[in-house]
Amino acid sequence: MPKRDVYTHGHQPAVVDQHARRTAERCAAFVRGIISPDFQILDVGCGPASITVGLGKWVPEGTVTGIDIGGDIVEVARSAVEASGLSNVTVEHASVYELPYKDDSFDIVYAHQVMQHLTDPVSALKEMARVARVGGYVAVRDADYYTMSCSPESEMIDEWRRIYCLVARRNGAEPDAGRHLLGWCHQAGLQDVHISASAWSYWTEEDRENWGFSWAERCLTTSFAEQALEYGYATRAELEEIAKGWRAWAKNPSGYFHFINGEALAHVE
């Protein structure tokens, strides 16, 4: 296994529970139209595999392989696959920089919210293209943290975003990845690329409370919090104030939050 990048979020429960709410319908809509029921799909950085399982339902005659570099999260992902009852989905421990597959193995090599955590997304995209078959696709979707904003405006949530971006960049990663996907694909030698963008918004009581309370927790109990303290970007007291800001926003029935995700669908030639 090659040297790991630092994963800014960590795999603590507050992170994993939040990610496990994601669905293929919401997160892979930009590839839905090109998927045939017999496709072989690789889901890179699959995390808790809620999207992976959804992809598995879209390819009843095909397969989905999820991979992740985190050992613990691979076990969580395998449990989710087992609970789904799907027999065409498997999860393996691997790094995107060194995929344990032959050239031309998959119809789609997909990664959701992964490029933003890598120190070398271009090498990752090259490796993803290597294992995609000629005529297949590399598909990536990532947030652009710069676009994250809320109503009512919150000084503490702005401060959270500022500190998060400092920590991610100190880790050598790019939190505004969504806007860079086209350039990174070109640098990786992928020239036939279609770009789209789609927004996430949190405003229903359930979504707002989940997003706000989970970020409050993540500011206190996860790798992001540890790194913010270790790198000297925040004190414990400041993180507690930010967590309070998140909770206040989450409890406001008019609370609204949104951001843009960039989406790149690259045809492998």
Ligand X SMILES: C[S@@+](CC[C@H](N)C(=O)[O-])C[C@H]1O[C@@H](n2cnc3c(N)ncnc32)[C@H](O)[C@@H]1O
For ligand X, the binding residues (CB under 6 A) are: 5, 7, 9, 19, 22, 44-47, 51, 67-70, 73, 95-97, 112-114, 117
**Cβ proximity to ligand X, 128 vs 156, nearer residue:** 128
Give me the half-sphere count of Cα atoms (radius 13 Å) on the Cβ side of residue 256. 4
Q: How far is the CB of 131 from ligand X (least distance, A)?
A: 13
Distance in Å, CB of 47 to ligand X, minimum = 3
Min dist CB 126 to ligand X, Å, is 13
Cβ closest to ligand X, residue 40 vs residue 222: 222
Residue bearing tokens 């997160």: 27
Rounded to a whole number of angstroms, the minimum distance from the CB of residue 252 to ligand X is 26
Report how far residue 93's alpha carbon sits from residue 91's, in angstroms, rounded to the nearest whole number. 7
Enclosing H/E stretch for 109:
strand 106-112
- Residue with smaller CB distance to ligand X, 86 or 255: 86
Cβ of residue 214: shortest distance to ligand X, in angstroms?
13
Q: Classify residue 159 as left (phi > 0), alpha (psi -120 to 50) or beta.
A: alpha
CB-wise, 117 or 208, nearer to ligand X?
A: 117
Q: Which is nearer to ligand X, 19 or 161 (CB)?
A: 19
Q: What would the two tokens of residue 123 be? A: 């090498």
Counts for the chain of helices (H) and strands (E), in that order? 11, 8
DSSP 8-class letter at 5: P
Which residue's CB is nearer to ligand X, number 45 or number 212?
A: 45
* Count of other CB atoms within 10 angstroms of residue 32: 11
Token digits of residue 59: 């390819």
CB 148 within 8 A of CB 201: no
Spell out the residues 6+ positions from residue 132 whose beta carbon is closer than 8 angstroms to its own: 42, 104, 105, 106, 107, 108, 109, 138, 268
Shortest approach of ligand X to residue 70 CB, angstroms?
4
Residue type, 155: E
Q: Which residue is nearest to ligand X (CB)?
A: 47
